[in-house]
């Protein structure tokens, strides 16, 4: 990634986390964290990595995020300097699940 796309990715990540805290009302028993954002070179798409705890609530959290994706884009547009907000694409960051599997394997 170029320096510019890295800056935009960091900006989008901060704005999305702010959106989750200030605007959106995620289900009470779910912790949703934006762990990373990767923006393509032409700035048309941004892949947003989402971590969800507890892991078994991932489906519910992703449904919630998909329903609020438009509002998140509008929030980024309103509170950032970007002229055009990339299309946001969600993907699950399952690194916590991978870490748990490794820990279990090491215990046995």
pTM of the model: 0.86
Q: What is the CATH number of domain 3-107?
A: 3.30.300.20
Per-residue pLDDT in tens (0 to 9) along the chain, 108 residues? 789 999 999 999 999 999 999 999 998 899 999 999 999 999 999 999 999 988 899 999 999 999 999 999 999 999 998 889 999 999 999 877 777 778 888 887
Can you point out the beta strands (E) in the chain? 31-39, 45-53, 87-92
CB 50 within 8 A of CB 8: no
Question: What Å distances lie between residue 97 and 3, 28, 94, 101, CA to CA?
Answer: 31, 21, 5, 6
């Amino acid at each position: 990634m170029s320096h510019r796309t890295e800056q935009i990715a960091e900006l989008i990540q901060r704005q999305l986390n702010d959106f989750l805290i200030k605007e959106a009302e995620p289900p009470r028993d779910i912790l949703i964290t934006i762990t990373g954002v990767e923006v393509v070179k032409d700035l048309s798409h941004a892949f947003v990595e989402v971590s969800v705890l507890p892991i078994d609530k991932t489906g519910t959290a992703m449904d919630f995020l998909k329903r609020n994706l438009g509002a998140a884009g509008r929030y980024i547009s309103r509170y950032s300097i970007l002229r055009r907000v990339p299309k946001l694409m969600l993907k699950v960051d399952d690194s916590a699940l991978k870490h748990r599997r490794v820990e279990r394997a090491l215990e046995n």
